[in-house]
Amino acid sequence: MKYLEGIAEFCAVAEVGNFTGAANKLDTSVAQISRKVASLEKQLGVKLLQRTTRSVSLTEAGTLYFEQALPALKALENAQLSVSALQTSPQGLIKLTAPVAFGEAFIAPLLNTFMQKYSGISVQCTFSNEKLDIVDLGLDLAIRIGKLEDSTLVAKKLATRHLFVCGSKAYFEEHGQPQTIDELKHHSLLVGSQPYWRFMVDKEIQSISVQGRARYNSGNALRSAALAGLGLAQLPGFYVRDALASGELIEVFPEYKDKQEAIWAVFPSNRNVAPKIRLLVDFLAQHIVSDS
């Protein structure tokens, strides 16, 4: 079936707009993509792509071929997915990304358990606090936290987490414990990557601008500073739950706790979601505990 060679590679380039993104999407090399597309063009006797040093665009023939080839390619992918769904055990590589601290604390252990359960699955996970372009990088899904930006990506809510404002006993003994949100301006605050804290007031989220003595883009660093008595921090439960339980940290404003921050699994909408991906997403939704 030599006439099928190069179609997937060409469609990937046409979809993402460059050879590097297509190589990431198909988990192959740029050179392989280039060879396959060149072979397809030679076979058809037409130029499908207009290449420059900075961009790739479709020729008139390329546009026509893409419009007709893509549906056929998707039909073949659907057929393969249908057959894969019949397997008693899922197979293949799953590529995803997750935030660093949350990913290391929660996602990595769950991925390990998932691979123990399904021996045919392998995982490649990139931990990053940047919102990576999962389409351009050829990733199957991303774990994201908080409000999602408008996009063509599909999102499934996995769980919710709460934000705790807390400080050490030593800090409160020296500076007193704030009784109202307005009193925060009289306290030493430990600020994260965002210059505001969120509270639930009268069933609505309010963002309060904060400035502080220390600013870290790391939840672990903020927790350490709070434990050292340097001030108050607002952190997700997974950073401070143990310290709160032991009494090392004390929560303030529990009545204003933001309980609506969601944890999401996000995946591209322009490709069919393989059964192995759905299985992993359902597994994560089942095992990620809300209030993480």
pLDDT confidence of residue 161:
83
Q: Is the pLDDT of residue 188 over 80?
A: yes
Residue 258 pLDDT level (bands cut at 50, 70, 90)? confident
Convert the pLDDT of each residue in 49-88 to its tens digit: 998 767 789 999 999 999 999 888 888 877 766 666 555 5
Answer yes or no: is pLDDT of 238 > 70.
yes
**Phi, then psi, of 121 in degrees rounded to 5:** -95, 135
pLDDT recorded at residue 99: 92
Confidence band, pLDDT 50/70/90 cuts, at residue 3: low
Nearest to 92 by CA among 277, 267, 270, 246: 277
Mean pLDDT of the chain: 88
The closest of 244, 61, 279 to 235, measured between CA atoms, is: 244
pLDDT at 272 over 70: no
Q: How far apart are CA 266 and CA 264, in angstroms?
A: 6
Q: What is the pLDDT of residues 17-59, one digit of tens each?
A: 899 888 888 888 999 999 999 999 999 999 999 987 677 899 9
**Distance set, CA 114 to CA 134, 279, 283, 286 (Å):** 21, 9, 8, 12
8 A C-beta contact, residue 109 and residue 66: no
Distance CA 77, CA 8 (A): 10
Average the pLDDT over 225-253 and give the result.
94
pLDDT at 271 over 60: no
Question: Which of 75-89, 135-149, 161-175, 256-270 shows the lowest per-residue confidence on average (mean pLDDT)?
Answer: 75-89
Range ranked top by mean pLDDT from 178-182, 209-213, 265-269: 178-182
Q: Are 145 and 288 in contact (CB under 8 A)?
A: no
Q: What is the band of 151 on the pLDDT scale with cuts at 50, 70, 90?
A: confident
pLDDT of res. 83 = 64
Mean pLDDT of 144-153: 80
Predicted local confidence at residue 291, as pLDDT: 59
Rounded CA separation 17/12 (Å): 8
